[in-house]
């Protein structure tokens, strides 16, 4: 990553989203501004219905903003990309890792094959796709045995690692992590969070981390935004925001959600030797 002023990986400027009158003309987002610098990680905190998912949909090009400006890696986004080339280019800028890895892994397709299909969709030759798929899986701590397994043959943590590898296949600058460790056991959560930190350092990735878990927010984000009913009520460095919130709503929210902060890194996870324990484009 170059020294000096960093490009903003994500920038929302005065973004609003109003749903049709059929839903009462509700404003899901109201004048939301936030930014994530390249190589940084931003946590989005808020109750259900606060606007977190709407922000993710707009960034992924699944819905247009009603107003304001949305920029990803220097490219302005205006709704769903038009045409195959535009969709591919957008996918190379931003991908998502869901709480449920089955949203990005076909249960009837070996995970290595799913990643190969994604690579070929993005113009990687068949001859090199298998090699690259294995490299991506190795990067997230999985081996050839896991590559040949169906998702249902893997543990929950391994499935999530495979979903991360698939998201990385197209070389995105930004990952949206939508409750990406919420379904995992606590010990496995720590391993996957360490993986996210390692990938950010190695690849210069930027993260938008959507979560209800304050342990996750503190462990992997630099800054945090608190949303309420589509508006930003607080925004600042994560540790400062969690330790000294200024908004009464933030105080109330932080008192209502988990605070179990990881105390240390777990040892790196190596590719398992014995346990066994059409991918969708974002």
pLDDT, tens digit (0-9, with 9 covering 90-100), for 239-282: 999 999 999 999 998 888 765 545 434 333 332 222 222 333 33
DSSP state of 141: T
Burial class (CB in 10 A: 0-12, 13-18, 19+), 256: exposed
Q: Are 140 and 195 in contact (CB under 8 A)?
A: yes
Structure tokens at 200: 């950010």
* 82, pLDDT greater than 60: yes
Distance CA(222)–CA(231), nearest Å, equals: 20
Q: What is the pLDDT of residues 190-205, one digit of tens each?
A: 999 999 999 999 999 9
Tally Cβ neighbours within 10 Å of residue 186: 10
Distance CA(79)–CA(17), nearest Å, equals: 11
- Cα dihedral across residues 154, 157, 162, 166: positive or negative: positive
In 164-247, beta strands by DSSP E: 174-178, 206-210, 223-228, 231-237
Segment 29-58 mean pLDDT: 95
Between residues 152 and 215, which one has the greater pLDDT?
152
Q: Are 227 and 44 in contact (CB under 8 A)?
A: yes
Q: What pLDDT was estimated at residue 86?
A: 86
Q: How many residues does the chain have?
A: 282
* 152, pLDDT greater than 50: yes
pTM of the model: 0.86
Helices 156-168 and 111-121, axial angle in degrees (round to 10)? 10
Q: What domains are defined for the chain? A: 8-256 (3.40.50.300)
User: Cβ contacts of residue 133 below 8 Å, gap of 6+?
Assistant: 112, 115, 116, 119, 147, 165, 169
* 113, pLDDT greater than 50: yes
pLDDT tier at 124, thresholds 50, 70, 90: confident
The secondary element (H helix, E strand) that includes residue 13 is strand 8-18
Segment 31-40 mean pLDDT: 96
Beta bridge partners of 72: 10, 75
Mean pLDDT of the chain: 86
Distance CA(70)–CA(63), nearest Å, equals: 12
pLDDT tier at 88, thresholds 50, 70, 90: confident
Segment 63-91 mean pLDDT: 89
* 4, pLDDT greater than 70: no
Q: What pLDDT was estimated at residue 105?
A: 94
Q: What pLDDT was estimated at residue 22?
A: 52
């Amino acid at each position: 990553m170059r020294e000096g002023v960093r490009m903003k990986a994500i920038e929302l400027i005065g973004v609003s989203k109003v749903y049709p009158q059929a839903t009462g003309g509700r404003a899901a987002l109201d004048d939301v501004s936030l930014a994530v610098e390249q190589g940084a990680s931003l946590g989005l905190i808020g109750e259900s219905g606060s606007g977190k998912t709407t922000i993710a949909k707009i960034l992924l090009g699944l819905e247009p903003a009603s107003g304001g400006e949305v920029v990803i890696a220097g490219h302005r986004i205006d709704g769903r990309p038009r045409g195959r080339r535009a969709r591919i280019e957008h996918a190379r800028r931003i991908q998502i890792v869901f709480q449920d890895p089955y949203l990005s892994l076909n249960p009837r397709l070996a995970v290595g094959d799913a990643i190969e299909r994604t690579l070929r969709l993005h113009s990687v030759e068949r001859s090199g796709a298998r090699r690259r798929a294995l490299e991506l899986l190795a990067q997230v701590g999985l081996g050839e045995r896991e590559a040949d397994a169906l998702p249902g043959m893997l543990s929950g943590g391994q499935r999530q690692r495979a979903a991360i590898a698939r998201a990385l296949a197209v070389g995105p600058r930004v990952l949206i992590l939508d409750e990406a460790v919420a379904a995992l056991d606590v010990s496995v959560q720590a391993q996957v969070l360490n993986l996210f930190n390692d990938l950010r350092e190695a690849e210069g990735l930027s993260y938008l981390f959507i979560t209800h878990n304050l342990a996750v927010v503190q462990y992997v984000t630099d800054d945090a935004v608190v949303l309420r009913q589509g508006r930003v009520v607080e925004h600042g460095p994560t540790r400062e925001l969690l330790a000294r919130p200024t908004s009464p709503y933030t105080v109330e929210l932080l008192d209502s959600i988990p605070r179990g902060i990881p105390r240390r890194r777990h040892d790196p996870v190596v590719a398992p030797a014995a346990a066994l324990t059409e991918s969708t484009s974002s």
